[in-house]
Structure 1
Amino acid sequence: MINIRQLTKHYGANPVLRGIDLDVAAGEFVVVLGQSGAGKSTLLRCINRLAEADSGTLTVAGIDARTCQDTRPLRRQAAMIFQHHNVVPRLSVLKNVLTGRLGAVSTLSSILQLFRRDDVALAMQCLERVELAHKAHERTDALSGGQMQRVGIARALAQRPKVILADEPVASLDPKTARLVLQYLRDATRELGITVVCNLHQVDYAREFGDRIVGLAHGRLVYDGDTAGMTETDLQRIYPGPATDVQDAAQTDPHTHSTALRAGA
């Protein structure tokens, strides 16, 4: 579904991605771990062309994402879930989800916010998947942060994409809400066969929800394997620095003492 070879990206003189090779299969839920500045967000932004890679090859759902002149088909196939929700607060929950259909309607319809009956039905189905159908006609700014992120998931699902790219989708949420949001994302995408690449900081969440973990450090891929096989040595490569830094990354709930650093934990 996603095939990346020797992908590089610089911001000025600063190399952010240094020859990334990565394959993600259809229906796979891949979690990308790494410190801030490791290149996780840049990788996702290159996949859907929010950022332009400098070199390498990249195909997404059969689309050459590096050379395609029209990015609209690519972005229809690769939906994005952002860290800070990116909802329109004054719009209703339903209308926010319907923005996921804008790529499939005419320009005039999108300007006038005119949607077909089947688009509305699809949006309601997506809200049902994240258990927010009862909030459909409420203003989105009346929701909690976790509910807003569930609206973001529903909006991404409404695109009917083949790939969802989630950039730190639970960074601002408490542990209980974060797990709930990741559960909704994983369950919905598994039921629909959607491929997910999800950036996270929390190792426990990666092990709990991911089919596979990819680790980045200083713009290089330093780990690629299943969740059970990741050892403390692997974590040290993903999070280079003092051991306490690795423990902090592995601990998801400040009220617990388990760091889940044991091999295969």
Structure 2
Amino acid sequence: MISIRQLTKHYGPNPVLRGIDLEVAAGEFVVVLGQSGAGKSTLLRCINRLVQADSGTLSVAGIDALACRDTSVLRRQAAMIFQHHNVVPRLSVLKNVLTGCLGAVSTLTSIMQLFRREDVALAMQCLERVELAHKARERTDSLSGGQMQRVGIARALAQRPKVILADEPVASLDPKTARLVLQYLRDATRELGITVLCNLHQVDYAREFGDRIVGLANGKLVYDGSACSMTEDDLQRIYPGQTTAPQGATARADELITPVAQVRAQA
């Protein structure tokens, strides 16, 4: 689904990605770990061409992402979920989700927001997947931070993408809400067979939700393996110079797992 070979990117004279090789299969939930500045966000932004890579090869859902002239074609297949929600506060929850359908409709329809009945039905289905259908007609700025991020997930799903790129989607959320958001993201994409590449800082979340973990350090891929096989030595390579790797909370992940049903109302 995603194939990357010797991908490089510089910002001015500074190398950010140094020869990244990565294969991600259809339906995988892959978490990318690394310190700030390791290249995590740049990697995701190269994949959907928010940033242009300098060299290498990059294929997403059969599309040559580096040579593709119409980036809208690529971005329909590779939806993005951002750290800071990226919603339109004054619009309703439903209309925010419907913006995920804009790439598949005409320019006039986009301008007039004349959405097809089937688009509205799809948007409502996506809201049901994140348990926000009852909020569809409310203004988005009335929601909590966790609920806004769930709107972002629903909007990404409404694109009917083959890949979702999630860039620090829970960085600003408390541990309970973060786990709930990641649970919705993993469950929805698993049911639909969508591939996920998700940047995180929290090692415990990566182990809990990822099928596989990729570690970046100084722009290089330094770890690629299953979530359960990552050792302390691997973490030292991912987080060089740090005595402890960042966690989502103070206790171990297996001590903090809270049943989703107990926290839905709080997020």
Shorter-chain TM range is over 0.9
1:194 aligns with 2:201: no
Distance in 1 between the 2:248 and 2:52 partners? 33
The C-alpha deviation readout for 1:228-248, integer Å capped at 9, x for no partner, is 11000000000001314x2xx
> Secondary structure in 2 aligned to 1:197?
strand
Q: State the shift of 1:253 in Å.
A: 1.3
Q: Tell me, yes or no, if structure 1 residue 231 matches structure 2 residue 227.
A: no
Give 2:249's aligned amino acid. D
Match of 1:20? 20
1:213 aligns with 2:213: yes
Aligned to 1:188, what secondary structure does the other structure show?
Answer: helix
Question: Does residue 129 in structure 1 map to residue 129 in structure 2?
Answer: yes
Amino acid in structure 2 at the alignment position of 1:252: G
Instruction: Find the counterpart in structure 2 of residue 161 from structure 1.
Output: 161
- Runs of 4+ with >2 A deviation: none
> What's 2:110 paired with?
110
Match for 1:42: what amino acid?
T
Residue 79 of structure 1 is matched in structure 2 by: 79
Using the size of structure 2 for normalisation, the TM-score is: 0.94
TM-score normalised by length of structure 1: 0.95
CA distance in 2, matches of 1:51, 1:111: 26
1:253 paired residue number: 249
Q: Report the 3-state secondary structure (helix = DSSP H, G, I; strand = E; otherwise coil) of the residue aligned with 1:236.
A: helix
Once the two structures are superposed, what CA deviation does each residue of 1:108-161 show, in whole Å capped at 9, x if it has no partner? 000011100000000000000000000000000000000000000000000000
Amino acid at match of 1:63: I
Shift of 1:259: 7.7
Give the letter aligned to residue 162 of structure 2.
Answer: K
CA RMSD of aligned residues (A): 0.9
Q: Deviation of residue 47 (structure 1)?
A: 0.1
1:180 aligns with 2:165: no
2:180 and 2:228 map into 1 onto residues whose CA distance is 22
Equivalent position SS for 1:79: strand
Q: Name the residue aligned to 1:4.
A: 4
Provide the residue aligned with 1:263 in structure 2: none
1:252 positional shift: 1.3
2:100 aligns with: 100
Q: Distance in 2 between matches of 1:56 and 1:87?
A: 33
Q: Percent identity?
A: 86
Whether contact under 8 Å (2:205, 2:253) holds in the other structure is no
The answer (yes or no) to whether the contact 2:208–2:253 under 8 Å persists in 1 is no
Equivalent residue of 2:58, what SS? strand
Please give the per-residue CA displacement for 1:213-258, whole angstroms capped at 9, x wherever unaligned.
00000000000000111000000000001314x2xx1x2114x3x3
Q: Which runs of 5+ in 1 are unaligned?
A: 261-265
CA–CA distance in structure 2, aligned partners of residues 259 and 184 of structure 1: 18
Equivalent residue letter for 1:8? T
The residue type paired with residue 18 of structure 2 is: R
Mapped to 1, the partners of 2:148 and 2:228 lie a distance apart of: 31
Equivalent in the alignment of 2:66? 66
1:105 aligned partner, one-letter code: V
Counterpart code for 1:200: L
TM-superposition CA deviations, 1:25-44 (whole Å, max 9, x none): 00000000000000000000
Counterpart residue number, 1:37: 37
Which residue matches 2:259? none
Q: CA deviation at 1:72?
A: 1.1
CA–CA separation in structure 2 for the residues paired with 1:199 and 1:188: 18
Structure 2 distance, partners of 1:253, 1:223, is: 23
Describe the shift of the 1:220–1:253 C-alpha distance in structure 2 as closer, same or farther (beyond 3 A).
same
